[in-house]
Amino acid sequence: MSADTIARLKITLDDVNPTVVRGIEVPFDLRLDRLHLAIQAAMGWTNSHLYEIRAGDVGWGVPDPGWSDGLRDARKARLIDVLEDVGTKMLWYIYDFGDGWDHTIKIERLTDPRPGVAYPLLIDAAGRCPPEDIGGPWSYVELLEARRDPKHGRHAECEEWFADDFDPETVDLRRALIRRFVSPSS
């Protein structure tokens, strides 16, 4: 594989319905801290919580003894090295340790870069990312149910969490602008 190889990734937000999936293409030699930023932008998260990228039994993120003891520094690891060292085509991304948003990342294929295309690149999107700090997948599911049922005990609370135009089936492309966070050379 050459240094300019592109990895096509399928990122699925676990434990939510409707399904939230993103397809992105990233340089295969992208640092993991930059992969985190690409995922944040593609999913529509706000990059306001800690994260971990896992391969096998090894995790990378922002080393913080109070929250993430044992994590390796994501600034010092590249996607190509992690996948070759661990020998896997699957990664796991955990965002917001309090809410516990788990994502499965599948490396779908490796390809040559297309001339004139700037990477990372969002290539596919389905479903809208849940609002931040909503309480994780189970709270999100409950609040979606409450939103649909005016008699539900938490119906009024939904106004705090969901914008009037919030549709869990529709991707908010304004939030999924991948280049706003990530520059492959940084």
Measured on CA atoms in the order 110, 116, 120, 126, is the torsion positive or negative? negative
Residue 4: how many other CB atoms lie within 10 Å: 12
Residue 183: the pLDDT is 44
pLDDT, block means (10 residues), the chain with 186 residues: 84 94 95 96 91 92 74 93 83 95 96 92 90 90 87 83 79 58 44
User: Strand runs (DSSP E) across 4-84, as ranges?
Assistant: 6-13, 20-27, 51-55, 58-61, 72-73
Predicted TM-score (pTM) of this structure: 0.87
- Which residues on adjacent β-strands are paired with residue 54? 59, 92
Separation of alpha carbons 106 and 89, rounded Å: 6
